[in-house]
Amino acid sequence: MLLVGLALVAILVPILLVLLGVESSMPVYSYVSSDGKFDEIEMPSKGRSLDMVEAHFDEYRRQVGQPDLILYRTTSRVWWRYWRWSEYVSHPRWSYPYREPDPREEAGR
């Protein structure tokens, strides 16, 4: 019976966090180039996929003539969100190197 109770709590916690506005049901993931002059967001719920971010970044690298630029993920993993653990391991977005967001860039959004 204890296991059933724990399973129920594990299922209800993410739902309650969304309902309370603590957790978004429409996550946004942000990225920035190594030169800091390109930034882009991924919003799967709005059709802005990682493929789109990668295509825009490739185009940016071609435009500036710097094929060695690196795309960094500026969205961190939040490990207490256990319902996202499988995504953290399996989705390609999490294989991008992490870089702290620049507060000046965040203020400009």
Q: What is the pLDDT along the chain (109 residues), one digit of tens a residue?
A: 766 665 565 566 656 655 666 566 678 999 999 999 999 999 998 999 999 999 999 999 999 999 999 999 999 999 988 888 999 999 999 999 999 988 765 544 4
What the block records as the tokens of 106 is: 């965040």
**Rounded distance between C-alpha atoms, residue 45 and residue 49, angstroms:** 9
Q: Token match 């966090």: residue?
A: 17
Cα dihedral 88, 40, 18, 47, rounded to 10, equals: -90
Residue 22 lies in a domain: no
86 assigned to some structural domain? yes
Alpha carbons 52 and 37: distance in angstroms, whole number: 18
In a domain, 101, yes or no: yes
Q: If 0-12 CB within 10 Å is exposed, 13-18 middle and 19+ buried, where does residue 73 land?
A: buried
Residue 52 located in a structural domain: yes
In a domain, 31, yes or no: yes
Whole-structure pTM over 0.75, yes or no? yes
Supply the range of the domain harboring residue 66: 27-107
Number of independent structural domains in the chain? 1
